[in-house]
Structure 1
Amino acid sequence: DGIEDSKDACPNTPGPAEYNGCPDSDGDTVIDKDDACPNTPGLVALAGCPDADGDGVADKDDECPNEAGPAENNGCPWPDRDGDGVPDKDDLCPDLVGTVANNGCPEVTEAVRKTLLDYAKTILFDTGKATIKPQSADVLNNIADILDDYPNVNFRVEGHTDSTGSDALNKRLSGERAQAVVNYLIEKGIPSERMTSVGYGEERPIADNNTREGRRTNRRVEIHGETPNN
């Protein structure tokens, strides 16, 4: 190759002077002796091997050479079976379409919050008691279905009364009614640790207690959902 052996890095193999007498069979500027893929043009950063999908994993080591993926998964993309952009390994709800901000779980929208409030306000109880009337079963079942769709959301069930009767009685009754709703939802499969109950009695009216209609409106249950901090 015209390079004296004493100066030739590859004295037994012909090669150009620019590579100190060593060959570069595939012409990728990585000489054969340093090239992990000497017969296929590749990248200097990958020891002369190609990377068809550009994911930084050489094709020879890439289990998905035509689909970009991280090195820790052998060059394949992490599976995301619900297709929400959050890989299953990081997805707290891998079978429900969610958001990146909520770790792959669905977020409770304003529309859903309103639906929950509207449903909850129609739950009926026996007068002066915490016994849920049978005709409220359908609405409670609908509420359970909604709560089941948001497995990483905690819900607060609030009981409220009108101003009839003593403060202490109203506080106790509203708390018992809120707990009765929680108990029903637990029976429908909603985990108890995802729900809390509280009774506010007559503390938070939303209508005028001086009218019959106002008192009827103030006797209510409310359900609020909050995504726990992660």
Structure 2
Amino acid sequence: MRTRTIVFLALLLPAAYSCKTKKILAKSPETAETKSTDNEIFNIQRELPGDQVERTAAGIRFTFSSEILFPTNSSYLNEKSKSRIDDVAKVIRNKYADRKVLVEGHSDKTGTPEYNLWLSEKRAASVKTYLVSLGIPEANIKTSGLGDTRPVADNKTKEGRLINRRVEVTVLKAD
């Protein structure tokens, strides 16, 4: 009988302890700033359907494919691209008039690094010039041409190269 009791307890105790209530760790609450920024992004995306808008460590970034903004090997903005930039400028003027803006041009790996850098600088400058014509203060806009140094997709495929040819407009966080 004693052996049965010991075996019974040896089997029962581990089972009983495994049913013990486990503490559930609460998720850390989101900060008001995070929620506010998420709402900002959501509202901007509603205003600009079809545009890529995201929150980054630097601020709020709008990304445009260079195929939408420019003809191949050109820094000339077409009418469709001006319409898209008009919408972004409106958001900047209405919500972020006091903020600095960074315009970065990017390219794929096709061509020489020197040419890609030059073209990306020219494209960023074209977007800046157009933003200034729409009332964004020139002193608030900085441009940078990065060439093919920051790819976001594989340059070995046509689709990847298309994604890498882009202009990013970032509304920087307030100081």
Would you say same fold, with TM above 0.5? yes
In the alignment, structure 1 residue 165 sits paired with structure 2 residue 105: no
**CA–CA distance in 1 between the matches of 2:131 and 2:77?**
12
Name the structure 1 match of 2:89: 144
The Cα of 1:187 is off from its aligned counterpart by 0.5
Name the structure 2 match of 1:213: 159
Name the structure 2 match of 1:124: 69
- Cα deviation digits, residues 88-125 of structure 1 (max 9, x gap): xxxxxxxxxxxxx9xxxx97934445297455336421
Counterpart amino acid of 2:101?
Answer: F
Return the structure number with greater strand share.
Answer: 2
Name the structure 1 match of 2:54: 114
Contact 2:106–2:165 under 8 Å retained in 1: yes
Name the structure 2 match of 1:189: 135
Contact 2:63–2:166 under 8 Å retained in 1: no
**CA–CA distance in 2 between the matches of 1:146 and 1:119?**
14
Percent of pairs identical after alignment? 33
Return the structure number with greater helix share.
Answer: 2
* 1:217 counterpart SS class: helix
The Cα of 1:171 is off from its aligned counterpart by 0.5
**CA–CA distance in 2 between the matches of 1:180 and 1:138?**
14
Name the structure 2 match of 1:134: 79
Counterpart amino acid of 1:186?
Answer: V
The Cα of 1:151 is off from its aligned counterpart by 1.3
Contact 1:171–1:201 under 8 Å retained in 2: yes
Contact 1:174–1:200 under 8 Å retained in 2: yes
Larger radius of gyration: 1
Name the structure 1 match of 2:168: 222
Give unpaired runs (5+ residues) of structure 2: 1-32, 45-52
The Cα of 1:144 is off from its aligned counterpart by 0.8
- Cα deviation digits, residues 10-66 of structure 1 (max 9, x gap): xxxxxxxxxxxxxxxxxxxxxxxxxxxxxxxxxxxxxxxxxxxxxxxxxxxxxxxxx
Contact 1:124–1:132 under 8 Å retained in 2: yes
Contact 2:75–2:122 under 8 Å retained in 1: yes
Counterpart amino acid of 2:97?
Answer: P
- Cα deviation digits, residues 205-230 of structure 1 (max 9, x gap): 0001000000001000011111342x
Contact 2:100–2:140 under 8 Å retained in 1: yes
